[in-house]
Structure 1
């Protein structure tokens, strides 16, 4: 297990931290929290104004539409979540250990207060147009996760690291979905066990 603590997880995703004093940051922090809890469709301007305490006129000074607020909030979450995930996963010593540690990090996230699944899967499911900015942000987020995983796989010195990275991404995304939909947080452990079998086979065939 990594040095992850549930307190650190909660702190990372406490978007309403009192240090958020800038008006624009306050708007985005509130929007992110509301979208993660309720979804984009249920997060209207009235709710954003009421929850943030920022006047509607002030919100429109920074963002022309609710969709712009949502896109900016999700972009901010993408940066923060990926920074957190890389930092926690990289606490393991070797590429192989870091790959397996990713699933421990996910389990910690699943068990943290307020876990509601992946914000990017959730919001992408609300949007039908594949070219909608919300869908594109979700796609970019998953690409970043795949790229990080690929970097670890390349360090293993195996043949076709891209194929392994693709498999690991599917395992992670499956674990996230099962944890959210089924409430089964041990999905991360199950996915980790499969990942370990795949890793052992790939390393054995490359030796």
Structure 2
């Protein structure tokens, strides 16, 4: 019989924390619910994480890595720099239509914190910076005149589309954001 290793236990805790936080938010994700859902003891959680905030931050960092890897690998499947830029929005639309879509975990959790210096907000800021860096890189690859400017505009379009998809249930927001990008790039 295989024993659960320490890393396996930590992974289970992080997986469950990430899912619960994404589904219901930080405040609704209490330690009792984490213990029950993960099937581990409270002592096991505190062996790896000093407190709930440390666990939330670790779960969000993990989500950032996984989401950015998924997003960039899907977008990068397009064959040309222009196609990759335009592919941002079909990839998002596919995510919007997926089971369990609840918007951006980083925007959602940031809304639960009031302090800009809160570690959760700092993880969210880091995630948005990585996303901005990625789309700016795509703009540079395409050879746009001001890649940093277009990169920031794309971040607004991406986050706006995510918000409309969540709040309004408008999955076509991704198509509309792509139309705006086409206008910005002066293409049909």
Q: Specify the TM-score bucket, using the shorter chain as the normaliser.
A: over 0.9
Give the alignment's Cα RMSD to 1 decimal: 1.0
The residue aligned with 1:41 is 27
1:139 maps onto 2:125 in alignment: yes
- Corresponding pairs, count: 181
Runs of 4+ with >3 A deviation: none
Give the Cα separation in 1 of the matches to 2:186 and 2:124: 31
Distance 1:63 1:136 in 2: 18
Paired residue secondary structure (1:170): helix
Superposition deviation, residue 155 in structure 1: 1.5
Structure 2 segments unaligned to the other structure (5+ residues): 1-6
Q: Deviations over 1:150-197 (max 9, x none)?
A: 001111223211111111111111000000000111100111111111
Q: State which of 154, 158, 170 in structure 2 corresponds to 1:184.
A: 170
Mapped to 2, the partners of 1:130 and 1:46 lie a distance apart of: 28
TM-score (ref. length: structure 1): 0.86
List aligned pairs for 1:77-88, cutoff 5 A. Answer: 77-88=63-74
Corresponding residue number in structure 1 for 2:3: none
Report Cα offsets for 1:43-99 as digits up to 9, x if no partner. Answer: 010000010001001111111101111000000000000000000000001111101
> What does residue 81 of structure 2 align with?
95
Structure 1 residues not aligned, in runs of 5+: 1-20, 202-207
